[in-house]
Amino acid sequence: MRGILEKYGTAIAGLVLVGFFAIAAPNFAAPGNLLNIAKETSFLAIIAIGFTLALVTAELDLSVADVASLAAVVTGALVHTGQPVLLAIAAGLGVGLFCGLFNGFAVTRLRVPSLIATLGMAAMARGFAFMLTDGVSYVGRWPAAFTDLARGKPFGIPALVLWMVGAVLLAFFLVKWTRTGARMTATGEAGESARLAGINIRAMKSIGLALSGLCAGLAAVLLTSSLSSAAPNMAGDYFLYAIAAVLLGMTMFNPGHANIPGTLVAALILKVLGNGLVLMGAAYYVQDIVLGFIIVASVAVSSAVLKKAAFKFG
């Protein structure tokens, strides 16, 4: 019983939370609201999955939100000026990937701790985003070929949900069923042993950070498509939520370790919580208080399960 609670306790608590809001919050269980929660979860989950892949290699990526904002601005600028949609999408993904590769270079070659390297990248990305836009948002009637990326409903399913499911499945497959994923996990959990076993530690960390940047780029493209706008700080709110999703995810399924299923469920729990509080009329700052508590409590729970931290940051 204890083992079940350790692995699934947080997920069970999430189900209880859904039941509570379904009873206490007006319209929470309405199909339209549940669909909105799923869509909102998509952006957070994709960004947090990237963060998770970096953390699997024992590195932090604190630049995800600002990199996403920069990628959104670049994507939006190209679409707004009538450039080909495929070029805009490629540019958004490319910006995210480039930032992730730069983080990997700084961490593995320049030997800058990931905490510092990614904070520096966050500042640079934020600065470039404001420089490119002069603080102005891109808004307009954009081509359906672009907006349908997020607003479309192939097979009757919201496109955002399909993008999220696809990203989750690919990340899970990478970590669990590929040699690269096994090496990334070994790098994060036993770095020195992995090195002695012949694993290229630098390459694995670089891959983790590059994928984190790529996920930020993908989330940016979808966010821009969904809103038909791009602003230099449009993804800023996802910073703490992404951290909370990853840390809360570490309290379930494989406690103490960054894992893809945990991150996905945690992202959903956070969005359910935020939506329910809004419907119940809670003040905006209540969400921040709860979010901060979740971050601290998640780390405490993970550490208690392992008796000691199972990873080193930076």
pLDDT in the model for residue 25: 86
pLDDT tens per residue, range 229-246: 999 999 988 999 999 999
User: Over the stretch 87-127, which tens digit does the pLDDT of each residue have?
Assistant: 999 999 999 999 999 999 999 999 999 999 999 999 999 99
Among candidate residues 192, 220, 187, the one with its CA nearest the CA of residue 206? 187
CA atoms of 214 and 92, how far apart (whole Å) = 9
How many residues does this entry show for the chain? 314
pLDDT tens digits for 183-193?
999 999 887 88
- The pLDDT assigned to 1 comes to 62
Structure tokens at 288: 């921040």
- 85 within 8 A of 143, measured Cβ to Cβ: yes
Domain boundaries of the chain, sorted by first residue: 2-306
Picking from 174-183, 238-247, 299-308, which range would have the lowest pLDDT averaged per residue? 299-308
* pLDDT (0 to 100) of residue 305: 65
Q: For the chain, what percent of residues have pLDDT higher than 70? A: 96
Q: Tell me which long-range contacts 311-314 makes (C-beta under 8 A, separation of at least 24).
A: 311/55, 311/58, 311/188, 311/189, 311/257, 311/258, 312/58, 312/191, 313/58, 313/59, 313/60, 313/113, 313/114, 313/115, 314/59, 314/60, 314/113, 314/114, 314/115, 314/116
| pLDDT at site 171 | 97
Instruction: Locate 150 and state its tokens.
Output: 């997020």
Alpha-carbon gap, residue 77 to 126, rounded angstroms: 16
Q: What's the rounded Cα separation, in Å, for the pair 302 and 308?
A: 9
Q: How confident is the model at residue 71 (pLDDT cuts 50, 70, 90)?
A: very high
229 bridge partner residues:
139
pLDDT band at 226 (very low <50, low <70, confident <90, very high): very high
Distance (Å, rounded) from C-alpha 301 to C-alpha 204? Answer: 27
| More confident of the two residues 224 and 251 | 224
Domain 2-306: give its CATH architecture.
Orthogonal Bundle (1.10)
pLDDT at 312 over 60: no
Q: In the predicted model, is pLDDT for residue 309 greater than 60?
A: no
Q: Cβ-count burial of 216 within 10 angstroms (0-12 exposed, 13-18 middle, 19+ buried)?
A: buried
pLDDT of residue 47: 97
Sign of CA dihedral 263, 269, 271, 273: negative
Model pLDDT for residues 242-284, shown as the tens digit of each residue? 999 999 999 888 888 889 999 999 999 999 999 999 998 888 8
